[in-house]
Amino acid sequence: MTKIIDGKLISKQIKDEVREETRILEEKGIRLTLAVVQVGEDPASTVYVRNKQKACEYTGIASVKIAMPAETTQKELLSKVRELNEDSSINGILVQLPLPKGLDANEVIRAISPLKDVDGFHPQSVGALSIGLPGFKSCTPAGIIELIKRSGIETEGRECVIVGRSNIVGKPMAMMMIRENATVTVAHSRTVDLPAVCRRADILITAVGRAKMFNREYVKPGAAVIDCGMNRDENGKLCGDVDYEDVFPVASAITPVPGGVGPMTVAMLMKNCLDSARIQGIV
Ligand code: NDP
């Protein structure tokens, strides 16, 4: 029987755990605050920002939205980030990506204090992850680790193939799976015979961004399949990188899209906001 990994349920469990922890902090007089900076009015970004604020409300974390016009200059944005770095009432800083054309996201990420980098994108956070030091972890891969662990999927000594090598999903995912003692292969657009490489996997993680690209030809019978993709199919319907209907009968466990990896990202952002208290030495 194929197990459907329920990201909605697991993300709720995590948010409930965060809520309990923030309640305990509040009893000690500590209220955590996340600052979310949105530049411009990209409708998808507005939805993402609203979802993050809703999750803050649910978990007992205060949130402040800083809306800046699309014409904001790099200098103005960097100055806002520095102001938030200095503001002791702010525990986490998130600059919603993508930024409007002409703004350099990498420079903005580097400007965020590593102590408040709740997205986990700062080079210091990435470096800490790669050498096993404490720090903020990129939310989507950290959420996948939770999905795997809480679904009882064994990682130690098992073959994990990750398709995609982006800085926010593929690469940190590989670091995290190494820490979980998996044997890790990272595949990408230049990989030769991708189906054969993927069929080695006991755990296949796809983070490519191509609708329904992975059919059962890519999946070893009994593999766990984790689908990061958020794409639109030919009818405009949300779908993953995996052809769910085709792969479902051969996989031992699989994440649906929507309702798999997606909800985990915001839940892990809340977890990172909670961790900011420890990283900043407040608790
Ligand atoms: P990127 O576009 O940054 O990276 C895509 C990766 O896939 C690249 O490494 C690329 O290889 C590889 N790739 C592209 N085409 C192929 C191919 N035909 N065969 C093998 N590899 C290929 O994407 P992201 O990592 O940012 O996102 C990946 C997916 O995950 C997207 O659908 C995105 O929407 C989704 N996503 C979902 C999140 C969530 O919260 N659920 C959060 C973040 C992302 P190369 O490096 O060689 O170009």
Kindly state the average pLDDT of the residues 38-57: 97
Catalytic residue among 52, 116, 137, 220: 52
pLDDT of res. 167: 95
Kindly state the average pLDDT of the residues 105-130: 98
The pLDDT tens digits for 129-177 are 999 999 999 999 999 999 999 999 999 999 999 999 999 999 999 999 9
Q: Which residues line ligand 1 (CB under 6 A)?
A: 140, 163-166, 168-170, 188-191, 194, 207-210, 228-231, 261-262, 265
pLDDT of res. 52: 98
User: Within 13 Å of residue 270, how many CA atoms lie on the same side as its CB?
Assistant: 28
pLDDT of res. 142: 98
State how far the Cα of 279 lies from the Cα of 274, in Å rounded to an integer: 9
- How many other β-carbons are positioned within 10 Å of the β-carbon of residue 260? 28
Active site residue 119: yes
State how far the Cα of 49 lies from the Cα of 72, in Å rounded to an integer: 18
pLDDT of res. 89: 98
pLDDT of res. 67: 98
Name all domains of the chain by residue range, CATH numbers in brackets.
29-113 (3.40.50.10860), 139-261 (3.40.50.720)
The pLDDT tens digits for 181-228 are 999 999 999 999 999 999 999 999 999 999 999 999 999 999 999 999
User: Minimal CA–CA distance to 23: which of 61, 55, 49?
Assistant: 61
**242 beta partners:** 214
Catalytic residue among 6, 117, 119, 275: 119
Given pLDDT bands bounded at 50, 70 and 90, which one contains residue 271?
very high
pTM for the model stands at 0.97
